[in-house]
Structure 1
Amino acid sequence: MRTFRLYGGFLGAAEVMTKPVGLTAAWWQVLGAVLREPLPVSGIAREMSLTRQSVQRIADLLVERGLAEYLPNPAHKRAKLLRPTGEGYSAVRRLTAAQHAFTNRVSSRVDVDELRTTLAVMERLIAALDEEGL
């Protein structure tokens, strides 16, 4: 139950941060997945442990609102690649100050060594889930 409480708190904070720039937490998550390189919807879904259908719905909304665009995928004729537009990159950049302020406020209440340990444990848990095929 604690995991769900933590997830809910982070999701709530993300909704507060994204609203002023015209995004939602879910839109931010999908845009964040393609900031470095365009990916197909199925790749975003795999990376984020989301359903392909939910990512497809969000990707279509992002494209409709001019925050992302579909590109041809040389590796797959039908599975187009998603990438942010200039407006999408700009929206994510406008979140940086709020995200850093929130992160600094919350993390200042936890010892830096505890944060490092938490990150290491999270990475091991993610690897275990990957091994389970989840």
Structure 2
Amino acid sequence: MRAAKTTPSGETLTELILVMFRVNNLTLAWGDRLSAPFGLTSARWQVLGAIVFAERPQPVAWLARDLGANRQNVQRIVNDLNAEGLVAFEPNPHHRRANLVVLTGKGRQAYDAVIDAYEPRVNALAEGLTLEEIRAAHRVMTTLKKRLEDEDGGA
């Protein structure tokens, strides 16, 4: 017999989590379709975005941390991007073995091309949603992310 019972809030959150799983899968497939004409996947696009939005060049481990992703998976993606000339490695003055990952001109062009395709599509997805609805969803996701990170030791 089960000792614990799910609270009404827990049941509603479970329903939200199940929807989040489906939305995540649909979002990745959407991103793959959106980025494919530019030679990218959702995963590659995400890594390029992490590089673009970093304040300075970072090693793979830091990019993985920022993405909340596995370092080995990010390393594989970065290696593929490097082989295609979209990113390059620069020496890290603070760590000999952890090179810094930088965007190349070709990488910037690919990233910008996807963003140009993305912007009208995301605007269309946002139609009919109020800013407050989007902000409330963001607050819930941010809170869940923080609680899950805290529970998992920040991994």
Superposed pair shares fold, TM > 0.5: yes
Match of 1:107?
Answer: 126
- Distance of 1:41 and 1:110 partners within structure 2: 36
Cα deviation per residue 1:16-66 (whole Å; 9 max; x = unaligned)?
110111111111111111114311111111111211111111111111100
The corresponding residue for 1:78 is 97
Counterpart residue number, 1:10: 27
Query: CA offset at residue 83 of structure 1?
Result: 1.2
Aligned length, in residue pairs: 134
**Secondary structure of the structure 2 residue equivalent to 1:83:** strand
Is the Cα–Cα contact under 8 Å of residues 31 and 83 in structure 1 kept in the other structure?
Answer: no
**Root-mean-square deviation over aligned CA pairs:** 1.2
Offset of residue 107 of structure 1? 1.0
Is the CA contact 1:34–1:82 (under 8 Å) kept in the aligned structure 2?
yes
Quick check: which has more Rg, 1 or 2?
2
TM-score by length of 1: 0.93
Please report how far the alpha carbon of residue 97 of structure 1 lies from its aligned counterpart in structure 2 after TM superposition: 2.3
Match of 1:119 in 2: 138
Segments of structure 2 that go 5 or more residues without pairing to the other structure are 1-17
- C-alpha distance in structure 1 between counterparts of 2:115 and 2:60, whole Å: 25
User: Which residue in the other structure is 1:90 paired with?
Assistant: 109
Partner Cα separation in structure 2 for residue 110 and residue 21 of structure 1: 29
Q: State the match for 1:20 in structure 2.
A: 37
Question: Any gaps of 5 or more consecutive residues in structure 1?
Answer: none
Give SS of 1:34's match: helix
Q: Could you tell me how far 1:128 is from its partner in structure 2? A: 1.7
